[in-house]
Amino acid sequence: MIRASVLGATGYLGGELLRLLLGHPGVTVAQAISTRLPGRRVDAVHPNLRAVTDLSFGALDDLADCDVLLLATPHRATMELLPTVMARGRAVIDMSGDFRLADASAYAAYYDTEHTAPNLLGTFAPGLPELYRDDVAKADLISVPGCSAAAATLALAPLRGLVRPEVQIDARTGSSGSGASAGDANTHAERSGALRVFAPARHRHEAEVAAHTGLTVRMTATGTPAVRGVQVVCHATAAGEITERELRAAYRAAYADEPFVRIVAHRRGAHRLPDPRILLGSNFCDVGFALDGDRITAIGALDNLVKGGAGAAVQCLNLRLGLPESLGLGFPGLHPL
């Protein structure tokens, strides 16, 4: 049985990791570490885990060796913490933004601070198995992409070579993307019913999408009244003449064998294009497209806490430690919801 420990286990991503790992037939949760609430019961913070576990949060100083160490710690804090704990895990999977970019100057530009562990930048395999499966399977350090970056990358990847380099991405995200310790702007009174454009330009995930796709990316982001879910609408221009049949063939070729990517591009019906609502709790990313002349609109949707975070981390864990890739990730989502 693989021993997994979660660092940063009190947040939303940490809670999702615990939910998935506690139900995983090949994994035992060795420790759930919290710098804020050591000694407190896990189910006092994550009430959905009542009667599932008797674990209590451990202190950082108590972190022991394990097969895989999963970090759900915040951006900027992770780069300070990781060098002191990375030796505890045979493999390390990070879900923060601190090691997603390979260049220190790019990190400073998008995160508004200097990187404190620049020697580790570029040493992490991107935790997106659909594009980097072989790298993930042999990597000791893995960095899971941001939720909007994952959705946009998977929506755009089949279009490489078929579109002009410049792409505009409009991302919409639920409030859980701000984390469990979000500030005053994310209280219910401020967020409920709002459509808040919080990144009118240069959203930090645009650098990730550019790195993964080779495209020139411009990205905006809007907060929606939902709690979970990400949807990205990507606008591109065809590089030459293309038909809908050829476009569909490109997506099928890219994802025919992928267990967690579904092509959703129908002409009619209530669910004819990707909608995050029916993906909540699942590790699926739905991708779709529409064609109008030379204009291609690519759409991606996922649950930001699962395929956009904890689920992707477990998928990477499975690959790295030689388990079936889909193990522990079979939940298909709910409908109606």
CATH number of the domain at 117, please: 3.40.50.720
* Residue where a domain stops, chosen among 74, 107, 123: 123
What is the domain count for the chain? 2
Which residue in 147, 234, 285, 316 is the catalytic one? 147
Tell me which residue range forms the domain holding 180.
148-302
Sign of CA dihedral 247, 330, 9, 126: negative
| 276: CATH | 3.30.360.10
66 given a catalytic annotation: no
Same domain, 195 and 280: yes
Return d(Cα 19, Cα 274) in angstroms, integer: 25
CB 142 within 8 A of CB 91: yes
The pLDDT of residue 103 is 94
CB 49 within 8 A of CB 22: yes
Residue 136: inside a domain: no
Same domain, 172 and 72: no
Same domain, 285 and 167: yes
Q: Torsions phi, psi of 228, nearest 5?
A: -115, 160
In 3-state terms the chain splits into helix, strand, coil percentages (rounded to 5) of 35, 25, 40
* Residue where a domain stops, chosen among 88, 123, 158: 123
Same domain, 119 and 152: no
The pLDDT of residue 183 is 63
Same domain, 48 and 166: no
Same domain, 164 and 221: yes
Residue 216: inside a domain: yes
Return d(Cα 88, Cα 90) in angstroms, integer: 7
Same domain, 118 and 154: no
Q: Is this prediction's pTM over 0.85?
A: yes
Same domain, 258 and 183: yes
Question: Tens digits of per-residue pLDDT, 181-226?
Answer: 666 667 776 778 888 898 899 999 999 999 999 999 999 999 988 8
The pLDDT of residue 179 is 67
Same domain, 49 and 160: no
Q: Report how far apart, in Å, the C-alpha atoms of 147 and of each of 55, 108, 155, 221 are.
A: 28, 20, 12, 12
280: tokens are 């909540």
**Which range has the worst mean pLDDT, 120-129, 181-190, 267-276, 324-333?**
181-190
Host H or E run for residue 67: strand 66-71
Torsion angle, CA of 245/250/255/260, rounded to 10 degrees? -70
- Between 180 and 113, the higher pLDDT residue: 113
Host H or E run for residue 48: none
Residue 318: inside a domain: no
Same domain, 291 and 159: yes
Sign of CA dihedral 150, 152, 153, 155: positive
Q: Please choose, from the candidates 131, 133, 108, the residue with its C-alpha nearest in 3D space to the C-alpha of residue 214.
A: 131
Query: Could you give the percent of the chain with pLDDT greater than 90?
Result: 88
Under 8 Å CB-to-CB from 51, ≥6 apart: which residues? 43
Mean of per-residue pLDDT scores for the chain:
95
Under 8 Å CB-to-CB from 93, ≥6 apart: which residues? 68, 69, 70, 71, 127, 142, 143, 144, 313, 316, 317, 320
Same domain, 164 and 228: yes
Same domain, 169 and 292: yes
Sign of CA dihedral 219, 224, 229, 233: negative
Question: Tens digits of per-residue pLDDT, 32-65?
Answer: 999 999 999 999 999 999 999 999 999 999 999 9
Residue 330: inside a domain: no
CB 147 within 8 A of CB 304: yes
Return d(Cα 45, Cα 330) in angstroms, integer: 25
Question: Tens digits of per-residue pLDDT, 86-115?
Answer: 999 999 999 999 999 999 999 999 999 999
Is it the case that residue 165 has pLDDT exceeding 90? yes
The pLDDT of residue 18 is 98
Question: Tens digits of per-residue pLDDT, 277-298?
Answer: 999 999 999 999 999 999 999 9
* Residue where a domain stops, chosen among 72, 107, 123: 123
